Homo-oligomer: A and B are copies of this chain.
Protein backbone atom coordinates (compact mmCIF):
# COMPACT_ATOMS: atom_id res chain seq x y z
CA UNK A 1 0.00 0.00 0.00
CA UNK A 2 1.46 3.39 -0.95
CA UNK A 3 2.03 6.14 1.62
CA UNK A 4 -0.95 8.33 2.44
CA UNK A 5 -1.09 11.69 0.66
CA UNK A 6 -1.14 14.92 2.71
CA UNK A 7 -4.73 16.15 3.10
CA UNK A 8 -4.29 19.42 5.06
CA UNK A 9 -4.91 22.67 3.16
CA UNK A 10 -1.91 24.79 2.15
CA UNK A 11 -0.82 27.54 4.50
CA UNK A 12 -3.14 30.54 4.02
CA UNK A 13 -6.06 28.37 2.86
CA UNK A 14 -8.84 26.99 5.03
CA UNK A 15 -11.56 24.38 5.34
CA UNK A 16 -14.88 25.47 6.84
CA UNK A 17 -16.61 22.81 8.91
CA UNK A 18 -20.24 22.08 7.93
CA UNK A 19 -21.78 24.10 10.79
CA UNK A 20 -19.63 27.14 9.88
CA UNK A 21 -20.27 26.70 6.16
CA UNK A 22 -24.01 26.48 6.91
CA UNK A 23 -23.94 29.76 8.87
CA UNK A 24 -21.86 31.40 6.13
CA UNK A 25 -24.18 30.20 3.37
CA UNK A 26 -27.23 31.37 5.32
CA UNK A 27 -25.73 34.85 5.68
CA UNK A 28 -24.86 34.96 1.96
CA UNK A 29 -28.39 33.94 0.97
CA UNK A 30 -29.91 36.63 3.21
CA UNK A 31 -27.53 39.26 1.80
CA UNK A 32 -28.42 38.29 -1.77
CA UNK A 33 -32.11 38.67 -0.88
CA UNK A 34 -31.41 42.20 0.37
CA UNK A 35 -29.48 43.09 -2.81
CA UNK A 36 -32.21 41.72 -5.09
CA UNK A 37 -34.88 43.57 -3.12
CA UNK A 38 -33.14 46.80 -4.20
CA UNK A 39 -32.90 45.67 -7.82
CA UNK A 40 -29.27 44.49 -7.86
CA UNK A 41 -28.68 41.44 -10.06
CA UNK A 42 -25.90 38.86 -9.73
CA UNK A 43 -23.25 38.45 -12.40
CA UNK A 44 -20.96 35.52 -12.98
CA UNK A 45 -17.48 36.12 -14.37
CA UNK A 46 -14.21 34.17 -14.57
CA UNK A 47 -11.71 33.85 -11.75
CA UNK A 48 -8.75 33.72 -14.18
CA UNK A 49 -7.65 36.52 -16.54
CA UNK A 50 -4.75 37.62 -18.66
CA UNK A 51 -2.18 39.21 -16.37
CA UNK A 52 -2.49 42.50 -18.28
CA UNK A 53 -6.28 42.52 -17.93
CA UNK A 54 -6.03 42.36 -14.14
CA UNK A 55 -3.21 44.85 -13.72
CA UNK A 56 -4.36 47.26 -16.43
CA UNK A 57 -0.88 48.67 -16.72
CA UNK A 58 -0.90 49.87 -13.10
CA UNK A 59 2.30 49.53 -11.13
CA UNK A 60 2.40 47.80 -7.79
CA UNK A 61 -0.67 45.63 -8.13
CA UNK A 62 1.20 42.61 -9.48
CA UNK A 63 3.01 41.94 -6.22
CA UNK A 64 -0.04 40.31 -4.68
CA UNK A 65 -1.15 38.11 -7.56
CA UNK A 66 -1.27 34.37 -8.01
CA UNK A 67 0.10 34.44 -11.57
CA UNK A 68 1.78 32.00 -13.93
CA UNK A 69 2.38 31.12 -17.56
CA UNK A 70 -0.13 28.48 -18.61
CA UNK A 71 1.72 25.66 -20.30
CA UNK A 72 -0.06 24.39 -23.40
CA UNK A 73 0.32 21.56 -25.85
CA UNK A 74 0.43 17.81 -25.42
CA UNK A 75 3.95 17.85 -23.99
CA UNK A 76 3.31 21.11 -22.12
CA UNK A 77 6.27 22.89 -23.59
CA UNK A 78 4.23 25.53 -25.41
CA UNK A 79 4.33 28.81 -23.50
CA UNK A 80 0.71 29.91 -23.22
CA UNK A 81 -0.89 33.07 -21.84
CA UNK A 82 0.49 34.85 -18.80
CA UNK A 83 -2.54 34.50 -16.53
CA UNK A 84 -3.54 35.34 -12.96
CA UNK A 85 -6.32 34.76 -10.43
CA UNK A 86 -8.50 37.75 -9.55
CA UNK A 87 -7.43 39.55 -6.35
CA UNK A 88 -10.68 41.48 -5.82
CA UNK A 89 -14.15 41.86 -7.39
CA UNK A 90 -13.75 45.50 -8.44
CA UNK A 91 -11.27 45.10 -11.29
CA UNK A 92 -13.30 42.16 -12.69
CA UNK A 93 -16.45 44.35 -12.46
CA UNK A 94 -14.79 47.12 -14.45
CA UNK A 95 -13.63 44.59 -17.04
CA UNK A 96 -17.10 42.92 -17.13
CA UNK A 97 -18.92 46.21 -17.67
CA UNK A 98 -16.55 47.17 -20.48
CA UNK A 99 -16.74 43.77 -22.18
CA UNK A 100 -20.54 43.53 -21.96
CA UNK A 101 -21.60 47.19 -22.14
CA UNK A 102 -23.72 46.64 -25.26
CA UNK A 103 -25.85 44.02 -23.45
CA UNK A 104 -26.27 45.85 -20.14
CA UNK A 105 -28.81 48.44 -19.01
CA UNK A 106 -27.35 51.54 -17.34
CA UNK A 107 -27.28 52.49 -14.53
CA UNK A 108 -26.03 48.96 -13.97
CA UNK A 109 -26.62 47.44 -10.53
CA UNK A 110 -24.82 44.23 -9.70
CA UNK A 111 -23.73 42.18 -6.72
CA UNK A 112 -21.05 39.53 -6.63
CA UNK A 113 -20.07 37.13 -3.88
CA UNK A 114 -17.01 35.07 -4.60
CA UNK A 115 -13.52 34.02 -3.76
CA UNK A 116 -10.44 36.10 -4.50
CA UNK A 117 -6.78 35.17 -4.14
CA UNK A 118 -3.74 37.08 -2.94
CA UNK A 119 -0.21 35.75 -2.92
CA UNK A 120 0.78 37.54 0.29
CA UNK A 121 2.56 35.72 3.10
CA UNK A 122 -0.17 34.26 5.29
CA UNK A 123 -0.56 35.66 8.81
CA UNK A 124 -3.05 35.23 11.64
CA UNK A 125 -6.49 36.09 10.29
CA UNK A 126 -5.09 36.82 6.84
CA UNK A 127 -5.82 34.26 4.15
CA UNK A 128 -4.55 33.76 0.62
CA UNK A 129 -8.03 32.70 -0.51
CA UNK A 130 -11.07 34.48 0.89
CA UNK A 131 -14.54 35.75 0.00
CA UNK A 132 -15.55 39.21 -1.07
CA UNK A 133 -19.15 40.41 -1.24
CA UNK A 134 -19.63 43.58 -3.27
CA UNK A 135 -22.53 45.57 -4.60
CA UNK A 136 -22.32 48.60 -6.90
CA UNK A 137 -24.44 51.01 -8.95
CA UNK A 138 -22.45 51.96 -12.06
CA UNK A 139 -23.18 54.80 -14.43
CA UNK A 140 -24.86 57.39 -12.22
CA UNK A 141 -24.00 60.42 -10.11
CA UNK A 142 -27.54 60.78 -8.70
CA UNK A 143 -27.42 61.25 -4.89
CA UNK A 144 -30.33 58.79 -4.67
CA UNK A 145 -27.76 56.08 -5.50
CA UNK A 146 -25.49 57.22 -2.63
CA UNK A 147 -28.50 57.07 -0.31
CA UNK A 148 -29.43 53.63 -1.63
CA UNK A 149 -25.96 52.29 -0.83
CA UNK A 150 -26.33 53.52 2.77
CA UNK A 151 -29.71 51.79 3.08
CA UNK A 152 -28.46 48.54 1.54
CA UNK A 153 -25.50 48.57 3.95
CA UNK A 154 -27.83 48.96 6.93
CA UNK A 155 -30.21 46.25 5.66
CA UNK A 156 -27.29 43.92 4.88
CA UNK A 157 -25.83 44.19 8.36
CA UNK A 158 -29.32 43.76 9.84
CA UNK A 159 -29.89 40.66 7.68
CA UNK A 160 -26.78 39.11 9.21
CA UNK A 161 -28.37 39.42 12.63
CA UNK A 162 -26.79 42.65 13.90
CA UNK A 163 -29.05 45.11 15.66
CA UNK A 164 -26.61 47.64 17.09
CA UNK A 165 -24.43 49.23 14.42
CA UNK A 166 -23.62 52.63 13.03
CA UNK A 167 -22.89 53.61 9.44
CA UNK A 168 -20.38 56.48 9.48
CA UNK A 169 -20.40 58.75 6.47
CA UNK A 170 -18.17 61.38 5.00
CA UNK A 171 -17.63 62.90 1.57
CA UNK A 172 -14.21 63.17 -0.04
CA UNK A 173 -15.31 66.30 -1.88
CA UNK A 174 -15.48 68.01 1.53
CA UNK A 175 -12.02 66.77 2.53
CA UNK A 176 -10.68 67.80 -0.86
CA UNK A 177 -12.28 71.22 -0.44
CA UNK A 178 -10.42 71.60 2.82
CA UNK A 179 -7.14 70.46 1.23
CA UNK A 180 -7.70 72.88 -1.67
CA UNK A 181 -8.06 75.74 0.81
CA UNK A 182 -4.68 74.67 2.27
CA UNK A 183 -3.07 74.46 -1.18
CA UNK A 184 -2.68 70.68 -0.82
CA UNK A 185 -5.28 69.36 -3.28
CA UNK A 186 -2.79 67.61 -5.56
CA UNK A 187 -1.51 65.59 -2.56
CA UNK A 188 -5.04 64.58 -1.53
CA UNK A 189 -4.67 60.88 -2.23
CA UNK A 190 -1.51 60.54 -0.07
CA UNK A 191 -2.83 62.72 2.73
CA UNK A 192 -6.18 60.92 2.95
CA UNK A 193 -4.42 57.55 3.04
CA UNK A 194 -2.58 58.74 6.15
CA UNK A 195 -5.69 60.35 7.70
CA UNK A 196 -7.48 57.00 7.20
CA UNK A 197 -5.16 55.53 9.87
CA UNK A 198 -6.55 57.84 12.61
CA UNK A 199 -8.63 55.07 14.21
CA UNK A 200 -5.70 52.65 14.19
CA UNK A 201 -2.65 54.69 15.12
CA UNK A 202 -4.10 57.85 16.74
CA UNK A 203 -3.70 61.58 16.00
CA UNK A 204 -0.06 61.93 17.19
CA UNK A 205 1.23 59.24 14.86
CA UNK A 206 -0.87 60.63 11.99
CA UNK A 207 0.53 64.15 12.57
CA UNK A 208 4.04 62.70 12.70
CA UNK A 209 3.55 60.84 9.38
CA UNK A 210 1.95 63.89 7.72
CA UNK A 211 4.73 66.28 8.69
CA UNK A 212 8.01 64.32 8.56
CA UNK A 213 9.76 64.02 5.22
CA UNK A 214 9.97 60.54 3.66
CA UNK A 215 13.28 58.88 4.51
CA UNK A 216 14.33 55.53 3.10
CA UNK A 217 11.68 52.94 3.99
CA UNK A 218 9.97 55.27 6.47
CA UNK A 219 6.97 56.99 4.87
CA UNK A 220 6.32 60.68 5.43
CA UNK A 221 4.64 63.48 3.51
CA UNK A 222 6.55 66.51 4.77
CA UNK A 223 3.56 68.88 4.88
CA UNK A 224 3.71 71.89 7.21
CA UNK A 225 2.70 71.40 10.88
CA UNK A 226 0.14 74.21 10.51
CA UNK A 227 -1.56 72.42 7.61
CA UNK A 228 -1.44 69.07 9.45
CA UNK A 229 -3.07 70.68 12.49
CA UNK A 230 -5.80 72.18 10.28
CA UNK A 231 -6.56 68.81 8.74
CA UNK A 232 -6.69 67.03 12.09
CA UNK A 233 -8.77 69.66 13.81
CA UNK A 234 -11.21 69.53 10.90
CA UNK A 235 -11.62 65.75 11.27
CA UNK A 236 -12.43 66.35 14.96
CA UNK A 237 -15.28 68.72 14.11
CA UNK A 238 -17.77 65.84 13.91
CA UNK A 239 -17.01 64.81 17.49
CA UNK A 240 -17.74 68.38 18.68
CA UNK A 241 -20.86 69.07 16.62
CA UNK A 242 -23.50 66.66 15.32
CA UNK A 243 -26.67 66.51 13.24
CA UNK A 244 -28.03 69.74 11.80
CA UNK A 245 -25.53 71.89 13.70
CA UNK A 246 -22.63 70.05 12.06
CA UNK A 247 -24.17 70.25 8.59
CA UNK A 248 -24.86 73.99 9.07
CA UNK A 249 -21.26 74.58 10.16
CA UNK A 250 -19.96 72.69 7.10
CA UNK A 251 -22.25 74.68 4.81
CA UNK A 252 -20.97 77.90 6.38
CA UNK A 253 -17.29 76.95 6.06
CA UNK A 254 -17.51 75.95 2.42
CA UNK A 255 -19.96 78.58 1.19
CA UNK A 256 -17.55 79.82 -1.46
CA UNK A 257 -15.99 76.44 -2.36
CA UNK A 258 -18.29 74.88 -4.98
CA UNK A 259 -16.70 71.40 -4.90
CA UNK A 260 -16.84 71.04 -1.11
CA UNK A 261 -20.27 72.67 -1.05
CA UNK A 262 -21.65 70.06 -3.46
CA UNK A 263 -20.15 67.41 -1.15
CA UNK A 264 -21.90 68.91 1.87
CA UNK A 265 -25.21 68.98 -0.03
CA UNK A 266 -24.90 65.30 -1.03
CA UNK A 267 -23.83 64.27 2.46
CA UNK A 268 -26.84 66.08 3.92
CA UNK A 269 -29.19 64.32 1.47
CA UNK A 270 -27.73 60.88 2.19
CA UNK A 271 -27.49 61.16 5.98
CA UNK A 272 -30.85 62.78 6.55
CA UNK A 273 -32.60 60.41 4.12
CA UNK A 274 -31.04 57.33 5.72
CA UNK A 275 -31.79 58.55 9.25
CA UNK A 276 -35.37 59.26 8.26
CA UNK A 277 -35.89 55.77 6.78
CA UNK A 278 -33.77 53.58 9.12
CA UNK A 279 -33.37 55.47 12.39
CA UNK A 280 -31.36 58.53 13.42
CA UNK A 281 -28.93 56.59 15.63
CA UNK A 282 -27.82 54.29 12.81
CA UNK A 283 -26.10 56.93 10.67
CA UNK A 284 -23.65 59.67 11.58
CA UNK A 285 -21.36 62.08 9.78
CA UNK A 286 -17.75 61.34 10.72
CA UNK A 287 -15.25 63.71 9.12
CA UNK A 288 -12.34 61.46 10.08
CA UNK A 289 -13.49 58.70 7.71
CA UNK A 290 -11.30 58.90 4.61
CA UNK A 291 -11.01 55.28 3.37
CA UNK A 292 -7.54 54.28 2.22
CA UNK A 293 -8.37 53.58 -1.42
CA UNK A 294 -7.28 56.31 -3.79
CA UNK A 295 -10.15 55.97 -6.22
CA UNK A 296 -12.93 57.25 -3.95
CA UNK A 297 -14.05 60.75 -4.90
CA UNK A 298 -17.38 61.37 -3.11
CA UNK A 299 -19.42 59.73 -0.36
CA UNK A 300 -17.42 57.30 1.78
CA UNK A 301 -18.93 54.76 4.19
CA UNK A 302 -17.84 52.63 7.12
CA UNK A 303 -19.94 50.46 9.45
CA UNK A 304 -19.01 49.66 13.03
CA UNK A 305 -20.66 47.19 15.38
CA UNK A 306 -21.45 49.06 18.59
CA UNK A 307 -20.90 45.89 20.65
CA UNK A 308 -17.66 44.97 18.90
CA UNK A 309 -15.99 48.16 17.61
CA UNK A 310 -12.58 46.47 17.83
CA UNK A 311 -13.38 44.56 14.63
CA UNK A 312 -13.28 47.84 12.68
CA UNK A 313 -15.56 48.40 9.74
CA UNK A 314 -17.63 45.37 8.67
CA UNK A 315 -19.07 47.07 5.59
CA UNK A 316 -17.33 49.88 3.72
CA UNK A 317 -17.44 51.64 0.41
CA UNK A 318 -17.63 54.84 -1.49
CA UNK A 319 -18.34 56.81 -4.63
CA UNK A 320 -15.81 56.70 -7.46
CA UNK A 321 -15.38 58.91 -10.48
CA UNK A 322 -14.84 56.44 -13.28
CA UNK A 323 -14.90 52.66 -12.92
CA UNK A 324 -13.50 51.27 -16.11
CA UNK A 325 -11.26 53.83 -17.79
CA UNK A 326 -8.57 51.16 -18.38
CA UNK A 327 -10.99 49.15 -20.54
CA UNK A 328 -13.44 51.56 -22.15
CA UNK A 329 -13.94 55.18 -23.07
CA UNK A 330 -17.49 55.09 -21.66
CA UNK A 331 -17.67 57.32 -18.57
CA UNK A 332 -18.83 55.16 -15.67
CA UNK A 333 -19.02 56.92 -12.31
CA UNK A 334 -20.63 54.89 -9.55
CA UNK A 335 -20.95 54.02 -5.90
CA UNK A 336 -20.77 50.75 -4.03
CA UNK A 337 -19.68 48.89 -0.95
CA UNK A 338 -18.22 45.63 0.28
CA UNK A 339 -19.57 43.48 3.12
CA UNK A 340 -16.68 42.04 5.13
CA UNK A 341 -18.46 38.75 5.58
CA UNK A 342 -15.77 36.78 7.39
CA UNK A 343 -15.04 39.63 9.77
CA UNK A 344 -18.75 40.25 10.35
CA UNK A 345 -19.44 36.59 11.16
CA UNK A 346 -16.40 36.38 13.45
CA UNK A 347 -17.59 39.50 15.29
CA UNK A 348 -21.12 38.10 15.53
CA UNK A 349 -19.86 34.83 17.00
CA UNK A 350 -18.08 36.90 19.64
CA UNK A 351 -21.12 39.06 20.45
CA UNK A 352 -23.58 36.19 20.47
CA UNK A 353 -24.29 34.70 23.87
CA UNK A 354 -25.40 31.48 22.19
CA UNK A 355 -22.22 29.45 22.22
CA UNK A 356 -23.86 26.34 20.74
CA UNK A 357 -22.51 25.89 17.26
CA UNK A 358 -24.52 22.76 16.55
CA UNK A 359 -27.10 23.32 13.86
CA UNK A 360 -28.22 20.54 11.54
CA UNK A 361 -29.22 21.62 8.03
CA UNK A 362 -32.72 20.29 8.77
CA UNK A 363 -34.63 20.11 12.05
CA UNK A 364 -35.72 16.46 12.10
CA UNK A 365 -33.83 13.15 12.22
CA UNK A 366 -35.78 9.97 11.52
CA UNK A 367 -34.30 7.02 13.42
CA UNK A 368 -35.29 3.51 12.37
CA UNK A 369 -35.16 0.51 14.72
CA UNK A 370 -32.96 -2.29 13.27
CA UNK A 371 -35.96 -4.69 13.07
CA UNK A 372 -37.98 -2.34 10.85
CA UNK A 373 -37.89 -2.37 7.04
CA UNK A 374 -35.72 0.68 6.23
CA UNK A 375 -38.26 1.87 3.64
CA UNK A 376 -40.48 2.89 6.61
CA UNK A 377 -37.84 5.39 7.71
CA UNK A 378 -37.61 6.94 4.27
CA UNK A 379 -41.41 7.01 3.99
CA UNK A 380 -41.76 8.78 7.36
CA UNK A 381 -39.11 11.40 6.53
CA UNK A 382 -40.73 11.95 3.16
CA UNK A 383 -44.08 12.68 4.82
CA UNK A 384 -42.38 15.56 6.65
CA UNK A 385 -40.40 16.80 3.64
CA UNK A 386 -43.53 16.98 1.52
CA UNK A 387 -45.01 19.23 4.21
CA UNK A 388 -41.94 21.48 3.93
CA UNK A 389 -40.20 20.22 7.08
CA UNK A 390 -36.60 19.17 6.51
CA UNK A 391 -36.06 15.60 7.72
CA UNK A 392 -33.16 13.26 7.25
CA UNK A 393 -33.04 9.50 7.63
CA UNK A 394 -30.26 7.86 9.62
CA UNK A 395 -28.10 5.59 7.43
CA UNK A 396 -26.12 3.01 9.40
CA UNK A 397 -22.42 3.86 9.56
CA UNK A 398 -20.28 1.44 7.56
CA UNK A 399 -17.84 -0.56 9.68
CA UNK A 400 -15.20 -2.62 7.86
CA UNK A 401 -16.08 -6.33 7.74
CA UNK A 402 -19.39 -5.79 9.52
CA UNK A 403 -21.91 -5.99 6.71
CA UNK A 404 -24.94 -4.93 8.79
CA UNK A 405 -26.82 -1.97 7.36
CA UNK A 406 -28.87 -1.30 10.50
CA UNK A 407 -27.87 0.50 13.69
CA UNK A 408 -29.05 0.48 17.29
CA UNK A 409 -31.45 3.29 18.20
CA UNK A 410 -29.01 4.60 20.86
CA UNK A 411 -26.38 5.19 18.21
CA UNK A 412 -28.89 6.98 15.99
CA UNK A 413 -29.98 9.29 18.84
CA UNK A 414 -26.33 10.09 19.55
CA UNK A 415 -25.91 11.08 15.89
CA UNK A 416 -28.99 13.35 16.15
CA UNK A 417 -27.53 14.97 19.25
CA UNK A 418 -24.09 15.47 17.66
CA UNK A 419 -25.64 17.00 14.57
CA UNK A 420 -27.98 19.29 16.50
CA UNK A 421 -31.33 17.99 15.24
CA UNK A 422 -34.17 19.50 17.26
CA UNK A 423 -36.48 16.52 16.91
CA UNK A 424 -35.90 12.79 16.49
CA UNK A 425 -38.76 10.73 15.10
CA UNK A 426 -38.30 7.07 16.06
CA UNK A 427 -39.80 4.39 13.82
CA UNK A 428 -40.04 1.23 15.96
CA UNK A 429 -41.99 -2.05 15.46
CA UNK A 430 -44.60 -1.74 18.25
CA UNK A 431 -45.61 1.82 17.44
CA UNK A 432 -45.49 1.12 13.70
CA UNK A 433 -47.98 -1.75 14.15
CA UNK A 434 -50.34 0.88 15.59
CA UNK A 435 -49.45 3.23 12.66
CA UNK A 436 -47.63 5.54 15.07
CA UNK A 437 -44.11 6.80 15.78
CA UNK A 438 -42.28 8.23 18.79
CA UNK A 439 -41.42 11.93 18.65
CA UNK A 440 -38.52 13.02 20.88
CA UNK A 441 -37.70 16.66 21.56
CA UNK A 442 -33.90 16.81 21.87
CA UNK A 443 -33.79 19.94 24.04
CA UNK A 444 -36.27 18.77 26.68
CA UNK A 445 -35.54 15.06 26.06
CA UNK A 446 -39.32 14.47 26.37
CA UNK A 447 -40.89 11.93 24.05
CA UNK A 448 -44.46 11.06 23.01
CA UNK A 449 -46.17 8.54 20.82
CA UNK A 450 -47.81 10.29 17.87
CA UNK A 451 -50.05 8.68 15.22
CA UNK A 452 -48.52 8.95 11.72
CA UNK A 453 -51.59 10.93 10.65
CA UNK A 454 -50.70 13.60 13.22
CA UNK A 455 -46.92 13.62 12.68
CA UNK A 456 -46.74 16.68 10.43
CA UNK A 457 -48.73 18.79 12.91
CA UNK A 458 -46.71 17.57 15.88
CA UNK A 459 -43.39 18.25 14.11
CA UNK A 460 -44.58 21.67 12.97
CA UNK A 461 -45.41 22.58 16.59
CA UNK A 462 -41.97 21.55 17.85
CA UNK A 463 -40.03 23.08 14.99
CA UNK A 464 -41.74 26.45 15.00
CA UNK A 465 -41.60 26.82 18.79
Nearest CB of chain B from residue A434's CB, rounded to whole Å: 22
Given contacts A105-B415, A115-B47, A148-B378, contact A9 B99 (CB under 8 A): yes
**Interface size range on A against B:** 35 or more
Cα–Cα, bound, A162→B135 (Å): 32
In the complex, whether A193 has a CB less than 8 A from a CB of chain B is no
Contact partner of A46 among B9, B145, B151, B395, CB < 8 A? B9
With A and B bound together, what is the CA distance between A48 and B276 in angstroms? Answer: 47
- A119 (CB) vs chain B CBs: closest residue: B70
Are A99 and B277 in contact, CB atoms less than 8 angstroms apart? no
B41 and A327 within 8 A (CB): no
Binds B, one of A199-207, A304-312, A396-404: A396-404
Beta-carbon contact of A5 and B52 below 8 Å: yes
Partner of A39, one of B41, B142, B362: B362
Contact A129:B10 (CB < 8 A) given known A17-B103, A25-B42, A39-B360: no
**Most central of A15, A103, A379 by chain B CB within 10 Å:** A15
Cα separation A143 to B404 with both chains bound (whole Å)? 11
Smallest distance from the beta carbon of A334 to chain B beta carbons, Å? Answer: 8
Name the distance in Å between A66's Cβ and chain B's nearest Cβ. 7
Q: How far is the CA of A400 from the CA of B390 in the complex (A)?
A: 54
The answer to whether the Cβ of A269 comes within 8 Å of any Cβ in the partner chain is yes
Mask: chain A, 88-127; 1 = CB below 8 Å from B; 0 = not: 0000000110111001111101100001010100000000
Q: Is the CB of A48 within 8 A of B400?
A: no
- State whether the Cβ of A208 lies closer than 8 Å to any Cβ in chain B: no
Nearest opposing residue in chain B for A147, CB measure: B378
Instruction: Give which listed residue, B13, B41, B45, B418, contacts A9 with CB less than 8 A.
Output: B45
Find out whether the CB atom of B10 lies under 8 angstroms from the CB atom of A81.
yes
Q: Known A24-B44, A37-B385, A99-B9; judge A277-B106 contact (CB<8 A).
A: no
